Structure 1
Amino acid sequence: MKKQTFWLAMTLATTTATAGAAQDMQPKMAQFVTEHVMDWATDPIIVDAIIAQNAISGSYDQAKINELDTLWMAQSGMAGIPLIDDVLQNPTSDFLRQRIATAGGTIAEIFVMDARGLNVAAAEATSDYWQGDEEKFSETFPKGPNAIHFGEVELDGSSGEVQAQVSMSIVDTTGAVVGAMTVGINLASLM
């Protein structure tokens, strides 16, 4: 697997445009998401958690969102932080970690966002709390129920794996968009 990762990284490094490399991998990423993610992406444990948080965060103004985002980044990596613990230590986050465990190394990360782009649940702590200013949110949630966004191909510094994020709108039982989810895929596992 390390040899495949090395060659994939070398191939991507010699590609003139990262966006082009991401585009080349999109069919395989889309197939993986269709076959292995979509069947649980709208599980009630995810949808209900988003709806519950939407009831709270729906009244937040941008100043409150910025305050929470700054607090998250300042306290990232610390133990016993209520804001971070509320996202990481809940049944939905446990569910996401189970999905990673059963994916056989293909899924590197998963996190779920509410209607404001704030983290609801995550398998691991994200670098920030507010995703609403990033394409993983702006290219999914506001675009409707079937929106999907493929992020750029990147080399993860901590794992050494070549990854890309696939984000999608999350809908409730009526088909209304309630939030979004991002899945980080280890691309070497798709080769």
Structure 2
Amino acid sequence: MLKRNVTTLAFLVAAQAATADEFAPALEAYLHSNVTAWATDPVILDALRSANSRTGDFDSDQILALDQAWRAEVGQSNTPTIEPILNNAAADFLRGQVDASGGAISEIFIMDSVGLNVATSAVTSDMWQGDEAKFTQTYSAGPGATHIGEVEFDESAQTYLGQVSMAISDPATGELLGAVTVGVNAEQLF
């Protein structure tokens, strides 16, 4: 336990002195060596296609109404907006990736063509990611686009986390379907 605390303390001191750009190469390497291998699994692609057929024509009022409903349900026992996103085959697949990461991944969620959560490994604070860089710099930028977020200290996890995101395209057709965001435990990258 003492070794873990000393290692964590050393990382925290180094992380406080580092800029986001110093973590970007390690986060990007993690994205390409770990996430791309499973981000186009059929269960993910099917979930995105299905969501896009339902939400692809939503206007901003419909999107914001869903997001407001989600936010109101966070932490509540009755969660009819959150429940289908948290409990589906793609969400189960994402939780499997979190478990298989050995602590390197804290969360994963996939977003449809309008930036709404389709599946998530755990409850997120909001449903609509369409106004955030994790979506605007991936899905909105087109196939192959990635976004590396800043590494920040997460109070609830008591560790430094960074988010890596990428656009998801159908490998057979090239059709852009959505995006994925992965919360990575930065301590495990070094």
TM range (shorter): over 0.9
The answer on whether the counterparts of 1:164 and 1:184 sit within 8 Å (CA) in structure 2 is yes
Distance in 1 between the 2:5 and 2:112 partners? 36
What are the Cα deviations for residues 111-157 of structure 1, in whole angstroms up to 9, with x where unaligned? 00000000000000100000000000000001111100000111011
Q: Which runs of 4+ in 1 moved over 3 A?
A: none
Deviation at 1:103, TM superposition (A): 0.5
Task: Determine helix, strand or coil for the equivalent of 2:168.
Answer: strand
Give, as a single letter, the amino acid of the residue that structure 2 aligns with 1:59. D
The number of residue pairs the alignment matches comes to: 186
What are the Cα deviations for residues 3-61 of structure 1, in whole angstroms up to 9, with x where unaligned? 3332222222234xxxxx22111211122222211110111101110110000111211
Aligned to 2:8: 5
TM-score calculated relative to the size of structure 1: 0.93
Deviation at 1:77, TM superposition (A): 1.6
Aligned to 1:184: 183
Distance in 1 between the 2:30 and 2:138 partners? 18
The answer on whether the counterparts of 2:105 and 2:184 sit within 8 Å (CA) in structure 1 is yes
* Match 1:126 to one of 124, 128, 148: 124
Aligned to 2:21: 23
Listed as ranges, the gaps of 5+ residues in structure 1 are: 16-20
TM-score calculated relative to the size of structure 2: 0.94
Distance in 2 between the 1:54 and 1:5 partners? 42
* Match 1:94 to one of 92, 95, 101: 92
The answer on whether the counterparts of 2:73 and 2:81 sit within 8 Å (CA) in structure 1 is no
Task: Determine helix, strand or coil for the equivalent of 1:127.
Answer: coil
What are the Cα deviations for residues 79-128 of structure 1, in whole angstroms up to 9, with x where unaligned? 34121001000110000000010101111110000000000000001000
What are the equivalent positions in structure 2 for 1:113-152 lying under 5 Å apart?
A: 113-152=111-150
Distance in 1 between the 2:173 and 2:63 partners? 28
Distance in 1 between the 2:9 and 2:16 partners? 10
The answer on whether the counterparts of 1:22 and 1:164 sit within 8 Å (CA) in structure 2 is no
Task: Determine helix, strand or coil for the equivalent of 1:180.
Answer: strand
Distance in 2 between the 1:72 and 1:137 partners? 18
RMSD: 1.2
Q: 1:109 to 1:3 in 2, by over 3 A?
A: farther
The answer on whether the counterparts of 2:154 and 2:160 sit within 8 Å (CA) in structure 1 is yes
Listed as ranges, the gaps of 5+ residues in structure 2 are: none
Distance in 2 between the 1:189 and 1:38 partners? 19
Task: Determine helix, strand or coil for the equivalent of 1:51.
Answer: helix
